[in-house]
Chains A and B, each alone.
Chain A
Amino acid sequence: MKRVIKGNHAVSQGVRLSRVKVISAYPITPQTTIVEELSEICASGSLDAKFIKVESEHSAMAAVVGASTAGVRSFTATSSQGLLLMHEVLHWAAGARLPIVLANVNRAVAPGWNIWADQTDSLSQRDTGWVQIYCESNQEVLDSVIMAYRLAEEVRVPVMLTYDAFFLSHTSEIVDVPEIEEVDSFLPPYEPELKLDVEAPLAFGGLMSPDLYYEGRYTQHRDTMRVLEVYPRVCMEFQRVFGRKYDIVEEYRTGDAELVVVTAGTITSVSRIAVDAMRAKGKPVGLVKLRIFRPVPAEVWRSVLGRFPKVVVIDRNLTAGLGGVFASEIRSVLYSLEERPKVYPVVAGLGGRDVTPRDLEGIIEAALGREDPGSEPLFWGLKE
């Protein structure tokens, strides 16, 4: 059924449709309305779940670690400082191979306090072992929750889906909300092989000697890489049931492009407009939208981005002392190609600063007019 809903409600509807059994969360702006709607969904009985209303995000993640180890489908949501507070337990969930799904509303990190869109929060968690999915629209948010459970439970790896504060979290769009029976046919009940069970006692997460720990970590890495095989299949099956198509990356007007803009999140929509405008002026430019990050889809990035002479990477995030995360990782992935595209790193829109189609046109013009991209990122729109 088509409904006009906010991004946050796309999450809570996705959780309801996924028949999650335990939810634990702490309110944080701009995630709060997810928690509110899930409280109502649980209170009304339209979802048969326990909602543990905890005293911190650290506890929220710990509660779902407990619930997931006990063998039930579990969910939490957060943003910014809350995600950072979860950091220790994010490592734990991934290391323990728990298929938890987390929705993170991308928000800038303090100080100064800032509640607006910025991807530094999730990207600073890139080494925790979580799969990250970046979403562009409310429909994508809802669909990603459902797909995330399929993926997480098959590979036994936790999945974080992210989307921009306010641009999606509090903005209403038309979303096709599937019937729960349809979702049932795509997402089977969660029945883990190993769980906390008094009939078959096991110890989870105990002391591991140097003799074994290394192999444990390798196994985690190997299986996390499996996401790149499993995810396209999950997308194909999703398309068969629901008719909507997703992939590891998405290309837009790239056919004969000599320059592509690479984006993740809502700047993608802005970039589409800019690409159209540039095409109207006869400039051969296109767009590549990143959807999966961690694992790094290195082969896909090489085969897609390697085709273009110029690759402009827009980062709405900053790792101080380096630049944007996506640009840095894309550049390192492309290094092994014999003919490497020139990578133009751009940092833009930090802390929710507006990035308009005109900004994107300016960024593209700047890259088109410059042969040497340099190593220092272009901080677009910085006030003097």
Chain B
Amino acid sequence: MSRGELLQPGILSCQGCGAALAMKLAMMGLGKRTIVVIPACCWTIILGVYPYSALQVPVIHVPFETAAVVASGVRAALDMRGEKDVEVMAWAGDGGTFDIGLQALSGAAERNDDILYVCYDNEAYMNTGIQRSSATPIGAWTTTTPAGSLKKEPKKDLEKIMMGHSIPYLATLSVAYPDDAVKKFRRARTIRGTKFLHILSPCPPGWRIDPSQSIRTARLATLSNVFPLYEVVDGKLELSLIPEKTVPVKEYLECQGRFKGITPEMEDLLQRNVDRKWEELLAEAEKERQALS
């Protein structure tokens, strides 16, 4: 990171942290007329200890379950102050989004409040030491899904839940595809209403990977269709990337220590779920393509 960027050196993340890179990309896409709302999450720590802050934009830290609605409150105040060009970004982990913060997020999305909600997803409660969240995939080890009791339930399909709110913009992003990510942050900024961005953020300690492997792991998630990249603008879905050659889910799982104990049955189930979801996405994208032509 170089001087002059909105995310400055001195952050307290682990090496290879996907969430740290995700914020850098967000700031590149959004620019300095942005206010960031951060609930309890790794970023509470990463940003720095009072009186220091690594972000060169205003930040408000808030209770765990309130990121979306505090953003709504800030938005309302900015509108009253006539600062309509300032973007308000709620920046929460998967726990604060899929679980404890879902009610407030749903409320803001239903009201279509003009906020940008970003979930940086490392697929567990990493800040408290790797406990399962409803974003944790099947077969993953965490400290609350230990060996012999690996997570059996599929990851919650948050995109479907969010699209159920008819929000104007939703997109999935990955730190392995920075140009695509920055483009999506830029695009979100131009849209009024609730924007939901879901960015996959590998966590080296939680995923049991070497810090040097974060980007590669994230790329494999997309190339195996475990985490496909797409955008939904006003209900119309467009895939951002169709892998030339899809990688088997097994390859993605094998590069991480957290899936070491996964059973062949779980692996099959995971592959089937991924295939079905991908077929759904392809069909939806094709429908949109035909409607356009």
Chain B residues in 8 Å Cβ range of A72: 77, 80-81
Q: A67-B73, A71-B77 are in contact. Are A62 and B63 (CB under 8 A)?
A: yes
Nearest chain A CB to B168 CB, angstrom units: 19
4 new A-B contacts at CB < 8 Å, known A54-B107, A198-B34: A50-B80, A59-B103, A72-B80, A198-B58
Number of A-B contacts (CB under 8 A): 154
Contact A22 B76 (CB under 8 A): yes
Contact B77 A198 (CB under 8 A): no
Nearest chain A CB to B26 CB, angstrom units: 15
Contact with B along A115-132 (1 / 0, CB 8 A): 000000000000000000
Contact A58 B66 (CB under 8 A): yes
Contact B33 A198 (CB under 8 A): yes
Nearest chain B CB to A111 CB, angstrom units: 23
Shortest Cβ distance from B104 into A: residue: A59
| Range class of the A interface residue count | 35 or more
Nearest chain A CB to B164 CB, angstrom units: 15
A-B pairs with beta carbons under 8 Å apart, 20 shown: A53-B111, A56-B107, A59-B69, A59-B103, A59-B107, A63-B73, A66-B60, A66-B62, A67-B74, A69-B74, A69-B77, A70-B77, A74-B77, A88-B63, A196-B74, A202-B59, A203-B47, A203-B55, A206-B59, A207-B50
Shortest Cβ distance from B78 into A: residue: A70
Contact B59 A204 (CB under 8 A): yes
Q: A58-B66, A203-B47, A203-B53 are in contact. Are A70 and B73 (CB under 8 A)?
A: yes
Contact A58 B50 (CB under 8 A): no
- In the bound complex, what is the Cα–Cα distance between A22 and B45 (angstroms)? 30
Contact with A along B34-58 (1 / 0, CB 8 A): 1101000000110111100101111
Chain B residues in 8 Å Cβ range of A24: 73, 76
- In the bound complex, what is the Cα–Cα distance between A160 and B49 (angstroms)? 31
- In the bound complex, what is the Cα–Cα distance between A203 and B70 (angstroms)? 15
Chain B residues in 8 Å Cβ range of A337: none
| Range class of the B interface residue count | 35 or more
Taking CB atoms and an 8 Å cut-off, the chain A residues in 170-214 that contact chain B are: 196-198, 201-209, 212
Nearest chain B CB to A206 CB, angstrom units: 5
Contact B50 A66 (CB under 8 A): no
Does B94 lie at the interface of the complex (its beta carbon under 8 Å from any beta carbon of A)?
Answer: no
Chain B residues in 8 Å Cβ range of A65: 62, 66, 70, 73
Contact A58 B65 (CB under 8 A): yes
Contact A70 B74 (CB under 8 A): yes
Select B49's contact among A52, A66, A205, A207, beta carbons within 8 Å.
Answer: A207
- In the bound complex, what is the Cα–Cα distance between A53 and B72 (angstroms)? 10
Select B45's contact among A56, A70, A207, beta carbons within 8 Å.
Answer: A207
- In the bound complex, what is the Cα–Cα distance between A279 and B100 (angstroms)? 58
| Interface residue ranges, A against B (CB under 8 Å) | 21-22, 24, 48-50, 52-56, 58-59, 62-72, 74, 88-89, 92, 196-198, 201-209, 212
Contact A207 B73 (CB under 8 A): no
Contact B81 A71 (CB under 8 A): yes
Interface core residue of B65, B80, B106 (most chain A CB under 10 Å): B80
Contact B60 A52 (CB under 8 A): no
Chain A residues in 8 Å Cβ range of B104: 55-56, 58-59, 62
Contact B60 A89 (CB under 8 A): no
Does B153 lie at the interface of the complex (its beta carbon under 8 Å from any beta carbon of A)?
Answer: no
Nearest chain A CB to B119 CB, angstrom units: 18
Chain B residues in 8 Å Cβ range of A22: 73, 76-77, 80
Contact A66 B74 (CB under 8 A): yes
Nearest chain A CB to B13 CB, angstrom units: 13
Contact B35 A63 (CB under 8 A): no
Contact with A along B65-93 (1 / 0, CB 8 A): 11001111111111111010010000000
Shortest Cβ distance from A49 into B: residue: B80
Chain A residues in 8 Å Cβ range of B79: 50
Does B192 lie at the interface of the complex (its beta carbon under 8 Å from any beta carbon of A)?
Answer: no
Chain A residues in 8 Å Cβ range of B110: 55
Shortest Cβ distance from B110 into A: residue: A55
Interface core residue of B69, B104, B107 (most chain A CB under 10 Å): B69
Q: A65-B70, A196-B35, A209-B49 are in contact. Are A203 and B106 (CB under 8 A)?
A: no
Contact A206 B50 (CB under 8 A): yes
Contact A92 B73 (CB under 8 A): no
Contact A70 B55 (CB under 8 A): no
Contact A66 B103 (CB under 8 A): no
- In the bound complex, what is the Cα–Cα distance between A74 and B104 (angstroms)? 19
Shortest Cβ distance from B87 into A: residue: A198
Does B24 lie at the interface of the complex (its beta carbon under 8 Å from any beta carbon of A)?
Answer: no
Contact A50 B76 (CB under 8 A): yes
Select B73's contact among A48, A49, A66, A206, beta carbons within 8 Å.
Answer: A66
Contact A201 B73 (CB under 8 A): no
Nearest chain B CB to A369 CB, angstrom units: 52
- In the bound complex, what is the Cα–Cα distance between A89 and B32 (angstroms)? 28
Chain B residues in 8 Å Cβ range of A74: 73, 77
Does B61 lie at the interface of the complex (its beta carbon under 8 Å from any beta carbon of A)?
Answer: yes
Nearest chain A CB to B62 CB, angstrom units: 7
Shortest Cβ distance from A20 into B: residue: B80
- In the bound complex, what is the Cα–Cα distance between A89 and B77 (angstroms)? 18
Shortest Cβ distance from B53 into A: residue: A203
Contact B66 A89 (CB under 8 A): yes
Contact A206 B44 (CB under 8 A): yes
Chain A residues in 8 Å Cβ range of B57: 198, 201
Chain B residues in 8 Å Cβ range of A204: 58-61
- In the bound complex, what is the Cα–Cα distance between A55 and B78 (angstroms)? 21
- In the bound complex, what is the Cα–Cα distance between A212 and B49 (angstroms)? 10
Interface core residue of B48, B50, B103 (most chain A CB under 10 Å): B50
